[in-house]
Amino acid sequence: MKKELIELRINGRTHELAIEPNKLLLDVLRQDLGLTGSKRACDDSSCGSCTVQVDGVPMLSCTMLAASCEGQEITTVEGLADHDGLAALQKAYGDFGGAQCGFCTPGFMMTVRWLLANNHDPSEQEIREALSSNLCRCTGYSQMYQAIRAVIEAEQKSTPTEMVGAK
Amino acid sequence: MTDFSVIGKSIAMVDAAGKTTGAGKYTDDLSLPGMLVGKILHSVYPHARIKRIDTSRAKALDGVVAVVTGADAPNPYGILPVGHDETALAVEKVRYVGDHVACVAAISEEIAENAIELIDVEYELLPAYFDPVESMKAETDLIHENRAHNIEKDYHHVFGDLDKGFAEADYIAEGRYLANEVTHAAMEPHSTLANFELDPHTGKLGRLTVWSSTQVPYYLQHKLSLVLEMPMSQIRVIKPLVGGGFGGKSEIIPLEIIAAVAARAARAPVKITYTREEVFWAHRGRPRTIIDLKTGVKNDGRMTAVACKVIQDGGAYCSYGVVTILYSGALLGALYDIPNIRYDGYRVLTNKPACGAMRGHGTVNVRFAFESQMDEIAAKLKLDPAEMRRVNLLKPPTVTVNGLRVLSYGLPECIDQVVTRSGWKERKGKLPKGRGLGVACSHYVSGAANSIIRSDMPHSTVNIKIDRDGSVVIYTGASEIGQGSDTMTAQVVAEVLGCEIARVNVIAADTDLTPIDLGSYSSRVTFMAGNAALRAAADVKKNIVSAAAKRMNCAPEDVIMRNDRVWNGGTTLSDYDFTASDSLGEKEAARGHVDGQILRGSVLQTRKEDGPKDHMSFEEAVVAAIDFHGALTGTGSYAPPAAARGGKHKGGGVGPSPAYSYSAQVAEVSVDEDTGEVTVHKVWAAHDCGRALNPVAVEGQVIGSVWMGLGQALEEEIVWKDGLLMNPGLLEYRSPSSTESPEIECIIVESIDPEGPFGAKEAGEGSLAATIPAISNAIYDAVGVRLRESPFTPERVLAALRAKKGMKRIEMTESVDPTAPEKFREHGGSLWFRGKGPMRHPLDPARQGTNAGSPAGGGD
């Protein structure tokens, strides 16, 4: 298939790319841009390891055409860290054991980030439901809840304008 | 000393940030200039002779660089020396749907996929065997010619006097249990990148470097050497981050060798990454197991004898099979005190993907049967199931009747903990109808006392280098696969050296840089690599201490190293206040210039202050040691002691371990009697890990094990239809999602093993086996039906409930019983076969009249 020029806005930067129109967003991120944080694990949008945010909404980049994202703001896990350190959620996942092998973790980061952006005080059930779009084979999810709860509690304790790390 | 400064405290894994930021690199994240993509052609027949392979059309396709077949790498290999029955690509025969036939290396994935379609293979179909019991009757068309009746291996062990044991019994229970097949489904699909360097003198292919998602880099190096006929010294295996293994990467998976064979043919780097469907076909999971179990007990519940017959459906190759079938028998011992044991194990070949090692290797399915039968006996004799387990406890230190040495034994406390926390005594049998509690126990090895390849070499070796900058670099062959092995190693070394863990860098699993370690399997890393790290750190510490003692004018025994400080413990400074302000990172090091070089504070200080001191920083002590001894390195290794290596009987090498972990669990479930759906509300899991070096990681391992057991108990099941896998996807192979995953309360029990590093034992596998019977026993408590086949799907639970009421069974789905191949149903479509589905079995009515020998790539 002949390549075409497109422009993708990823993590706040615009990239001009020559890609086949049928190329998937995940492959463009991983192969063309070297953004290998998003993972391919299932091939058929059942596991969530490839989750990125498109205009703030978690989307599965393994079943999404890159060309369809032109003009939209794409955020990958590489765009999640604070300027000089880990985002609170990233630190909490480390401290509480929310990541073991880490392969599913970038996808969870994008899903949980969306959850916390849209719901400042999610219930246990709401957290579980949000996480059910992503699969993990290591943790049994328990320590992820602890990490997420810690982030929520830390945010609630801090002033609205000031973000603090978990713990 | 029980007052530790580094271990025993929960810390984030040393590689956590790489995982949460996406910066960490797994094999498929790597690429090299000029790298080609490899794609594999798989067999569409379960059992067939390859009459002809024609790759000429594929080779002619623009963009294809190389096509390789079995003839390019015909040397057989296998993880076990007794099981060298695999070839990287099929030679002469294919033995399961999905067997590897040919590989294309091309400049793009799309071209490689198109080229695969152009390979012509002519097969001669052979009768296939899908059920182990049927397979054992085979006289002709054997799966491997040298395995009569398709039996890979059978063992018949008798320990003690079985007749006497059963004669003494007041009650004897007998039953058949069936555990269906499950697979690891690690999130990272297997991936391998292989590259040959050119020899600088001849321009021919020289050294090979392989990056691979493996739990066993050194075994991979060994098998690559065997197949490629290259010396091991010419092969470097590097393990990047691994996205979960659970045993699925604990042996050599065909793509790991195929990538190297293709790179050799293409004279270019080749990367192969399995699709998810290929991962399912590669498999090496836990075999479908038929267990006939007979237990004799006294009226008080004490066991007098156990007879167990196990048939494992091993798939088409040996893989770890001989070890699996031995573990199933050996680990009948070392949990309870059983005076007389008989074990008959059959590992059977069938035309399905090979089964191998999976978390709780060999013990899980037999433990399900055993703990279920204990529950049946307790019900029959009106005993408290928890109490029945207590009367059968071992009295360590002891050696079991089958030769397993048990020193530390935290099982009694594990049982106490879960009984107390779950409110067992108050609530058992008193919950509302449809809700129940069940208890079960399990155990597992902390590494195998005998290595796969018999030799006297250490099982783990660790090197340490400390430089003038105070950095501690650990070189270990142990393979981090997400379980925390790098973190454990760093903690152990930091504890011994009394330094901050931030000083410690771990370089792991690179066969050129790190000393040999057998790998991450059978829960051996903490015990063995941990002990090696402990010894290496003690080795290097000797030199620091002797130099520091000279500097401080004290005896070496008086030198204390702790919290990044070194001081003379003989003075009042022993209660020196080492507050956080002393710790690394928070103190501003003085800087200066010497001979144009920028030097850090410690180096300057040593040049200025040569007089006696009474305390010094870690860096000062290191510099003193280097000035005195020269290079500061240490090494340590570990081999299990002879006393732990087990009995001398045939097969006695499998099962012995220097230490065993213990687990007790209580599960609380409810059962919907209308639908048969089982909901697990909570699992209390107490695990004896010896000593928890990093409690958050131990909890993560225990919870993860219980959760994986929960998956096998409730929903995970590999479904076969005539050798064709019906559910090769993460949606179809259902593992519990976050909404289906109950709260798991982990209780760490520390029995402090006398030989473990700081007393530590296994944590990553042992808990899994108790979960399945705990849930099964809880279902019995809830609704009074005994489920002897896992997983306990709504269909099976409902069938049992209806049978109990004398009602007719509802056939909700057509039978998928592999013993009834006269029934066929449509294949649901397949990504890997591009939706076409493979050719049907010759007995399939839908195939009648078609040409049985037509080329692959066709379909229906």
B365 Cβ contact list (under 8 Å, min separation 6)? B177, B179, B286, B287, B289, B291, B310, B328, B790
A114 Cβ contact list (under 8 Å, min separation 6)? A53, A56, A57, A58, A130
Which two tokens mark B579?
């507050």
- Smallest CA–CA distance from A29 into chain B, residue: B29
Go through chain B and tell me how many residues it has.
Answer: 860
| Residue-wise pLDDT tens digits, B123-177 | 999 999 999 999 999 999 999 999 999 999 999 999 999 999 999 999 999 999 9
pLDDT level of residue B823 (50, 70, 90 thresholds): very low
DSSP lists the bridge partners of residue B191 as B273
**Most B-contacting residue of A38, A127, A137, A144 (CB-CB within 10 A), to test interface:** A137
From B163-167, B230-234, B390-394, B846-850, the region with the lowest mean pLDDT: B846-850
Task: Reply yes or no: is the peptide bond before residue B339 cis, omega within 30 of 0.
Answer: no
Degrees to nearest 5, angle at CA B89 with B29 and B818: 100
| Residue-wise pLDDT tens digits, A48-93 | 999 999 999 999 999 999 999 999 999 999 999 866 789 999 999 9
- Smallest CA–CA distance from A136 into chain B, residue: B187
| Residue-wise pLDDT tens digits, B41-57 | 999 999 999 999 999 99
Q: Measured between alpha carbons, how far is B544 from B314 in angstroms, rounded to an integer?
A: 53
Q: A100 vs B22: CB contact, 8 Å cut-off?
A: no
Residues of A in Cβ contact (< 8 Å) with B28:
36, 40
pLDDT surpassing 70 at residue B813: no
B91 and B116 fall within a common domain: yes
**What per-residue confidence (pLDDT) applies to B833?**
37
Q: Give me the residues of B, 181-210, that contact A with CB < 8 A.
A: 184-189
Q: A143 vs B700: CB contact, 8 Å cut-off?
A: yes
Q: What is the mean pLDDT of chain B?
A: 91
**What per-residue confidence (pLDDT) applies to A141?**
97
- At which of B757, B777, B804 does a domain end? B804
Q: B21 vs A78: CB contact, 8 Å cut-off?
A: yes
Which two tokens mark B260?
């190297």
**What per-residue confidence (pLDDT) applies to B755?**
98
B258 and B402 fall within a common domain: no
Domains present along chain A, CATH in parentheses: 4-75 (3.10.20.30), 88-157 (1.10.150.120)
Q: Is B24 on the interface with A (CB under 8 A)?
A: yes
Q: What is the CATH number of the domain that holds B218?
A: 3.90.1170.50
Q: Does residue B831 fall inside a structural domain?
A: no
B304 and B433 fall within a common domain: yes
Name the pairing type of β-strands B720-721 and B789-790.
Answer: unpaired
Nearest to A43 among B15, B699, B831 (CB): B831
B298 and B403 fall within a common domain: yes
Q: Does residue B546 fall inside a structural domain?
A: yes
Q: B737 vs A36: CB contact, 8 Å cut-off?
A: no
Q: B744 vs A81: CB contact, 8 Å cut-off?
A: no
Q: Does residue B557 fall inside a structural domain?
A: yes
Residues of A in Cβ contact (< 8 Å) with B481:
101
Q: Does residue B139 fall inside a structural domain?
A: no
**What per-residue confidence (pLDDT) applies to A85?**
83
Q: What is the CATH number of the domain that holds B609?
A: 3.30.365.10
Q: B188 vs A142: CB contact, 8 Å cut-off?
A: no
From B56-60, B202-206, B241-245, the region with the lowest mean pLDDT: B202-206
Q: Measured between alpha carbons, how far is B322 from B823 in angstroms, rounded to an integer?
A: 32
Q: Is A79 on the interface with B (CB under 8 A)?
A: no
At position B513, the amino acid (one-letter code) is L
Residues of B in Cβ contact (< 8 Å) with A42:
276, 729-731
B560 and B662 fall within a common domain: no
Report the percentage of chain B scoring pLDDT > 90: 86
Degrees to nearest 5, angle at CA B566 with B565 and B567: 120
Contact B857, B117 (CB under 8 A): yes
B682 and B729 fall within a common domain: yes
Region A106-129: what's the mean pLDDT?
96
| Residue-wise pLDDT tens digits, B708-754 | 999 999 999 999 888 889 999 999 999 999 999 999 999 999 999 99
Q: Measured between alpha carbons, how far is B652 from B449 in angstroms, rounded to an integer?
A: 11
Q: Using alpha carbons, select from B278, B356, B252 the residue that is nearest to residue B42.
A: B278
pLDDT surpassing 70 at residue B832: no
CB contacts < 8 A, A to B, total 182
B406 and B480 fall within a common domain: no
B690 and B585 fall within a common domain: no
Q: A41 vs B697: CB contact, 8 Å cut-off?
A: no
Contact B707, B736 (CB under 8 A): yes
Q: Give me the residues of A, 108-127, that contact B with CB < 8 A.
A: 109, 127
| Residue-wise pLDDT tens digits, B428-443 | 999 999 999 999 999 9
What pTM was estimated for this model as a whole? 0.92
Contact A48, A92 (CB under 8 A): no
| Residue-wise pLDDT tens digits, A130-155 | 999 999 999 999 999 999 999 999 98
Q: Measured between alpha carbons, how far is B651 from B656 in angstroms, rounded to an integer?
A: 11
| Residue-wise pLDDT tens digits, B689-703 | 999 999 999 999 999
Q: Is A103 on the interface with B (CB under 8 A)?
A: yes
> Which stretches does DSSP call E strand in B190-299?
191-198, 205-212, 235-238, 270-273, 288-297
Residues of B in Cβ contact (< 8 Å) with A81:
21
Name the pairing type of β-strands B191-198 and B270-273.
Answer: antiparallel
At residue B686, φ and ψ (nearest 5 deg) are -100, 130
Q: Is B285 on the interface with A (CB under 8 A)?
A: no
Q: Using alpha carbons, select from B457, B447, B507 the residue that is nearest to residue B477.
A: B507
B74 and B220 fall within a common domain: yes
**What per-residue confidence (pLDDT) applies to B844?**
52
Residues of A in Cβ contact (< 8 Å) with B483:
100
**What per-residue confidence (pLDDT) applies to B663?**
98
The alpha-carbon gap from B97 to the nearest alpha carbon of chain A, in Å, equals 20
At position A126, the amino acid (one-letter code) is E
Q: A103 vs B18: CB contact, 8 Å cut-off?
A: no
A61 Cβ contact list (under 8 Å, min separation 6)? A24, A25, A26, A29, A38, A50, A51, A52
Q: B737 vs A132: CB contact, 8 Å cut-off?
A: yes
Q: Is B737 on the interface with A (CB under 8 A)?
A: yes
**What per-residue confidence (pLDDT) applies to B452?**
86
Q: Give me the residues of B, 668-707, that contact A with CB < 8 A.
A: 696-697, 699-700, 703-704, 706-707
pLDDT level of residue B2 (50, 70, 90 thresholds): low
Q: B696 vs A96: CB contact, 8 Å cut-off?
A: yes
Q: Is B829 on the interface with A (CB under 8 A)?
A: no
pLDDT surpassing 90 at residue B403: yes
Q: Does residue B396 fall inside a structural domain?
A: yes
Q: B20 vs A102: CB contact, 8 Å cut-off?
A: yes
Residues of A in Cβ contact (< 8 Å) with B275:
43
In chain A, DSSP finds a helix count (H) and a strand count (E) of 5, 5
Q: Give me the residues of A, 8-67, that contact B with CB < 8 A.
A: 30, 35-44, 46-47, 49
Q: Torsion over CA of B511, B515, B518 and B520, rounded to 10 degrees?
A: -80
B165 and B226 fall within a common domain: no
| Residue-wise pLDDT tens digits, B755-777 | 999 999 999 999 999 999 999 99
Residues of A in Cβ contact (< 8 Å) with B276:
41-44
B592 and B724 fall within a common domain: no
pLDDT surpassing 50 at residue B589: no
Region B73-97: what's the mean pLDDT?
97
Region B631-651: what's the mean pLDDT?
94
Using the structure block, give the residue that is written with the tokens 């062959």: B477
From A2-6, B355-359, B581-585, B605-609, the region with the lowest mean pLDDT: B581-585
- How many distinct structural domains can be found in chain B? 3
**What per-residue confidence (pLDDT) applies to B456?**
83
Contact B242, B532 (CB under 8 A): no
**What per-residue confidence (pLDDT) applies to B160?**
97
Region B661-680: what's the mean pLDDT?
97
Structural domain span for residue B229: 31-126+188-243+249-282
pLDDT surpassing 90 at residue A41: yes
**What per-residue confidence (pLDDT) applies to B454?**
79
Q: Using alpha carbons, select from B169, B143, B179 the residue that is nearest to residue B47.
A: B143
**Most A-contacting residue of B738, B765, B767 (CB-CB within 10 A), to test interface:** B738
Q: Measured between alpha carbons, how far is B252 from B83 in angstroms, rounded to an integer?
A: 12
B627 and B550 fall within a common domain: yes
| Residue-wise pLDDT tens digits, B537-570 | 999 999 999 999 999 999 999 999 999 999 998 8
pLDDT level of residue B572 (50, 70, 90 thresholds): low
Using only C-alpha atoms, what is the Rg of chain A? 16
pLDDT level of residue B97 (50, 70, 90 thresholds): very high
Nearest to A101 among B25, B243, B735 (CB): B243
Q: Is B108 on the interface with A (CB under 8 A)?
A: no
Q: Does residue B826 fall inside a structural domain?
A: no
| Residue-wise pLDDT tens digits, B280-324 | 999 999 999 999 999 999 999 999 999 999 999 999 999 999 999
Residues of A in Cβ contact (< 8 Å) with B833:
none
Which two tokens mark B438?
């069940």
- At which of B608, B638, B668 does a domain end? B638
Q: Does residue B23 fall inside a structural domain?
A: no
pLDDT surpassing 90 at residue B61: yes
**What per-residue confidence (pLDDT) applies to A3?**
94
The alpha-carbon gap from B391 to the nearest alpha carbon of chain A, in Å, equals 33
Could you give the count of Cα atoms lying within 13 Å of A66 in the half-sphere of its Cβ? Answer: 27
Report the percentage of chain A scoring pLDDT > 90: 87
pLDDT surpassing 60 at residue B271: yes
Residues of A in Cβ contact (< 8 Å) with B13:
94, 97, 99-100
pLDDT level of residue B594 (50, 70, 90 thresholds): very low
From B60-69, B181-190, B383-392, B638-647, the region with the lowest mean pLDDT: B638-647
Q: Does residue B654 fall inside a structural domain?
A: yes
Q: A37 vs B21: CB contact, 8 Å cut-off?
A: yes
- At which of B260, B282, B304 does a domain end? B282
